[in-house]
Amino acid sequence: KEQLDLLLRESDRFPPPHGMRLSYGTAGFREDASVLLSTMYRVGILAALRALKTEAVIGLMITASHNKVSDNGVKIADPSGGMLTQEWEPFANALANAPSSRDLVRLINEFTEKENILLDGSKSAQILVARDTRPSGEVLLDAAKNGIGSIIGAVAQDMGILTTPQLHWMVHVRNKGLESSELNYFDGLSNSFKWLLDSNPNNNELNDWDKRLVVDGANGVGGQKLELLKEKLNGLAIEIRNSGKGEGVLNERVGADFVQKEKIVPCNFGSQDVGIRCVSFDGDADRLVYFTVPSGSSNKINLVDGDKILSLFAIFIKEQLTILAARSKDTKIAFEPRLGVVQTAYANGASTQYLKDLGLEVVLTPTGVKYLHEKAAEYDIGIYFEANGHGTVLFSDYCISLLQPSYLELSNVFAGSEPHKAALRLLAISKLINQAVGDALSGLLLVEAILRHKNWSIHKWSELYQDLPSRQLKVKVVDRTAVETSNAETKVVKPPGLQEAIDLEIAKYPQGRCFIRPSGTEDVIRVYAEASTQEAADDLANSVAKLVD
């Protein structure tokens, strides 16, 4: 009774916007910030119920990532630090769209009964909440805290301004009973980075690798956090631009999404940066792409995207596994870790071919971190990346236990031996790279450590393979749900006949590949095309876009 009264009273303060259908898409709810108050309040309730149900710490992150600064959004981190289980998404949608407070309370009642969640205040629940640097974040965060406070026993812990992956990391480690402050996060990154650099046999004979690195912080939280982390790092000369402290606007002609889609220099980069290693984060620092500025007067860049980051990680990890497998006969390890690589249909065809030629197992999933992550978690070591720069490397608990020094000793893999060093490098990677979600800060440090190990310039790295020319278009539609796909979004199953028409277009182009999919974040159908020349890729994309219109 007390609980229901509280819910009714509080939710009346956050009426939902009229005539809007909200949907928990690939990355939570995302809209113009002005309509999100009730959604934040209700997602606060959702997070509290999730914490009660799982009896674990849950995360609530307020961000709209790479979207424009006037947008905002919210997503939930599950106890593992990963995305909210898909089983709860329908409930999230129902909550956000409940027309009145009474409907809302009825929904909560039904759902908690079905899920056996007790609302009698007998249990406590903790929710870590954070936001990115968007000005709307503060008010929205208050609404979310109100939602959490509307469930008796639930307590919000405000972590302030964080990158999305920092919050996911905190939830992940908190639920393992470990220390989870921002300082712990920075220490973990800087210590494992140092460890990786020190384990480099070629430490003294560097030439191709350049200490200088210029970072585009997208005028968001990533640049600010890197300023702090930088203080703890040795061996890198990092210059941060678009840190959010100056005039620039969040994500406006800056950041990973802009750089990867437009392939032109972000604001405050230009001829002074020719040939230097540059990297762009997105607005909440869960994505990164590298690039260089070529000489000449054009504003084009050479993009080193998520596929190439994935390839770099895959090469290095595979090398360590090979060294480990070459251990002497009297060792007792009978373990060959299964390494898997996960991409989406957006991965450049040249990257997929390259990875397969390396002998790696490559699988495709639909777009969205939740799909890639889930697939990668099936391997002992699973590497996933989207071309747009979101990705990480997952290590199974079993794999990590076999890389521990104590286990290695027991198995006659002795300190100082090459297999021992390889195992410890893998262990350091597992500590460096975020195990909960893609993370621009930890991704950057792993790229830097590997380039240094291999003594590679960004040019050498970039030439691993040549990207096939590609084109992305979007077509505005009234109802994007009219298009349904299968086979990791590579085939259209609805409306009938459309895939056949697309196939006829593809057949006209050498090395042609094309797919369409409904966006998970905007009311558009996206078209992706690849072919042997840029002109052909453009033509293919355009003609398929006409089929969709």
The yes or no reply on residue 519 touching ligand 16G (CB under 6 A) is yes
Q: Which is nearest to 301 in space by CA: 279, 281, 286?
A: 279
* Backbone φ and ψ of 515, nearest 5°: -145, 160
**Binder of ligand 16G out of 23, 26, 112, 299 (CB under 6 A):** 26
In three-state secondary structure terms, 51 is: helix
Q: Using the rule CB under 6 A, which residue among 390, 425, 453, 513 binds ligand 16G?
A: 390
Using the rule CB under 6 A, give the single segment among 47-55, 313-321, 348-356, 386-394 that binds ligand 16G: 386-394
Residue 158 marked as a ligand binder: no
Out of 78, 216, 286, 539, which residue is the one contacting Zn ion (CB under 5 A)?
Answer: 286
Which is closer to Zn ion, CB of 413 or CB of 447? 447
**Is 202 annotated among the ligand-binding residues?**
no
Q: How far is 440 from 282, CA to CA, in rounded Å? A: 8
C-alpha 397/C-alpha 28 separation (Å) is 28
Q: Which of 10, 282, 380, 386 binds Zn ion (CB under 5 A)?
A: 282
Told to check if 448 binds Zn ion by CB under 5 A, we report no
User: HSE on the CB side for 92, CA within 13 Å?
Assistant: 24
78 is in an annotated binding site: no
190 binds ligand 16G (CB under 6 A): no
- Burial (CB < 10 A; 0-12, 13-18, 19+), residue 333, is middle
Alpha-carbon dihedral sign for residues 268, 274, 279, 280: positive
- Kindly give the pairing relationship between strand 470-476 and strand 524-530: antiparallel
Token readout for 137 is: 């974040």
42: closest CA among 113, 140, 184, 139? 140
Q: Which does 277 bind (CB under 5 to 8 A by kind): ligand 16G, Zn ion, none?
A: none
Residue 495 assigned ligand-binding role: no
Contacts (CB under 6 A) with ligand 16G, residues 51-70: 65
Beta bridge partners of 216: 241, 280
Specify the DSSP element, H or E, that contains 53: helix 37-54
Rule CB under 6 A: say whether 522 interacts with ligand 16G. yes
Smallest separation, CB 105 to ligand 16G (Å) = 30
The residue type of 452 is R
392 binds ligand 16G (CB under 6 A): no
Q: Is 513 in the site for ligand 16G (CB under 6 A)?
A: no
Which residue in 65, 150, 192, 442 is the catalytic one? 65
Please compute, for residue 153, the number of CA atoms within 13 A of its CA located in the half-sphere on the CB side. Answer: 20
CA distance 333 to 311: 27
Q: Do the annotations mark residue 12 as ligand-binding?
A: no
Query: Is 26 annotated to bind ligand?
Result: no
CB within 8 A of 94, min separation 6: which ones? Answer: 107
Active site residue 486: no
CB 95 within 8 A of CB 46: yes
Q: How far apart are CA 395 and CA 410, in angstroms?
A: 21
The least distance separating ligand 16G from the CB of residue 306, rounded to whole angstroms, comes to 9
| 387 appears as a binding residue in the annotation | yes
Q: Does 470 bind ligand 16G (CB under 6 A)?
A: no
Q: What's the chain's length in residues?
A: 549
- Written as six digits, the tokens of 549 are 């219109």
Supply the minimum distance, in Å, between the C-beta of residue 93 and ligand 16G: 16
The closest residue (CB) to Zn ion is: 65
Q: Which of 71, 132, 216, 284 binds Zn ion (CB under 5 A)?
A: 284
Q: Alpha helices, DSSP H only, in 329-468?
A: 349-357, 369-376, 397-402, 405-410, 418-432, 440-454, 458-462
Q: Which of 44, 137, 368, 443 binds ligand 16G (CB under 6 A)?
A: 368
Residues forming contacts to ligand 16G in the complex (CB under 6 A) are 26-27, 65, 367-369, 386, 388, 390, 519-522, 526
Binding residues: 65, 282, 284, 286, 386-388, 517-521, 526
Known binding residues for Mg(2+) are 65, 282, 284, 286
Instruction: Please list the active-site residues.
Output: 65
The footprint of Zn ion (CB under 5 A) covers 65, 282, 284, 286
